[in-house]
Amino acid sequence: MAEFLCGLDAAVAVVGGKWKPLILWALSVRPRRTGELRRELTGVSEKVLVQQLRELERDGVVRREVHDQVPPKVVYSLTDDGVALDRALRPLGDWGEERMVEINSVRQGGAVAPP
């Protein structure tokens, strides 16, 4: 029912979750356990974190490795497609970084420079 109209559409759908950009950024630094991610992404609930990780896994950009031990240990990392996605996101991240302040102010304050 989604039916993407162009590649950009599909890519935005993959990274479009509220926490997905941050998850991908964290995993691009190094693989992480669930708890590490939860502590890194302050404010995320466990439900949504696991949900978005599963979606990223389904979309083929994140790998989930279960180490069968007690207590459980699950490690998430980027697949080859995930690494390629991360590289494709770099220019976009740079674009955003340069404009973060303006975008932020324009989205809440309204005016650019309050007196």
Minimum CB separation of residue 20 from DNA in Å reads 7
Which ranges constitute the DSSP H helices of the chain?
Answer: 7-15, 20-29, 34-40, 46-58, 80-108
Asked if 104 is part of the footprint of DNA (rule: CB under 7 A), the reply reads no
Asked if 34 is part of the footprint of DNA (rule: CB under 7 A), the reply reads yes
Cβ partners under 8 Å of residue 37, min gap 6: 23, 26, 44, 49, 53, 76
Among 71, 91, 114, 115, binds a second copy (CB under 8 A): 91
Contact 61, 77 (CB under 8 A): no
Rounded CA gap, 98 and 113, in Å?
Answer: 17
Q: Where in 36-65 is the site for DNA (CB under 7 A)?
A: 43-48, 50-54, 64
Among 12, 39, 46, 51, binds a second copy (CB under 8 A): 12
Rounded CA gap, 46 and 36, in Å?
Answer: 12
What residue ranges bind a second copy (CB under 8 A)? 1-16, 21-22, 24-25, 58-60, 81, 84-85, 87-100, 102-104, 106-108
What residue ranges bind DNA (CB under 7 A)? 17-19, 33-35, 43-48, 50-54, 64, 66, 70-74
